[in-house]
Amino acid sequence: MDYLRRNFLFFSFVGMFFSCGNISSDSNQNEVVKEQVQAKGQSSVVDEVSDPNILQVALGSKDHTTLVVAVQAAGIEDVLVNAGPITVFAPVNAAFAALPDGTVESLILPKNKGKLTEVLTHHAAPGTYNKKQLKKNAKKGRKIYTANNDYLDVEVKDEEIYIGGAKVLGEVATSNGYIIVIDKVLLP
């Protein structure tokens, strides 16, 4: 059953990544991209009663605006509102800004859609991994399986948790999994 659920999540996640638009940290560009992306599917349902899902939490985070614009431009909003469970390793805006000049702009080009898909799916793992579970995995020498069929190393250094070399800054429990806030973009 876990095999089917993992594959379903993986193929759902990958399939949703194949639509890519323009991404920029410039606020005017963000507004243009947001206007171009029309609400659709499960992500467009307004629910003020249930606990927030991964997408709803990310939408409300001032530290993840670049990631949100990327998710919207890629058309993967529905993946982040599905029942899950899923863990998203969410780089803060500063992580995107720290990439070499031109990296983000290059990845969002239509001709690089495959590369962008690989980068984005490298930030998601089927299952729920909070900080306690990540520490446990680190102590046992386990790696975290990602939605792009790769693995991320988990380490604890000086009481700090690192996933794929990125420092874990925090965690947010959501109705469909966890958001693990990280300080770097994970490049496969």
pLDDT tens for the chain, residues 1 to 188: 444 444 444 444 444 433 333 334 444 444 434 444 455 555 555 667 678 999 999 999 999 988 887 777 777 777 788 888 999 999 999 999 999 998 888 877 778 777 877 887 899 999 999 999 999 999 999 999 999 899 999 999 999 999 999 999 999 999 999 999 999 999 98
pLDDT at site 37: 43
pLDDT at site 20: 38
pLDDT at site 93: 93
pLDDT at site 40: 58
Please answer whether residues 42 and 74 qualify as being in contact, where contact means their C-beta atoms are separated by less than 8 angstroms.
no
pLDDT at site 44: 55
pLDDT at site 60: 92
Q: How far apart are the first and last CA of the chain?
A: 27
**Which fold would CATH assign to domain 2-128+173-180?**
FAS1 domain (2.30.180)
Q: Which of 155, 150, 125 is nearest to 140 (CA)?
A: 155
User: pTM for the full model?
Assistant: 0.75
For residue 71, give every residue at least 6 positions away whose Cβ sits within 8 Å of its Cβ, in sequence order, or none.
55, 58, 77, 80, 120
**Could you read off the pLDDT of 100-121 as tens digits, one per residue?**
998 888 877 778 777 877 887 8
Indicate the domain borders of the chain.
2-128+173-180
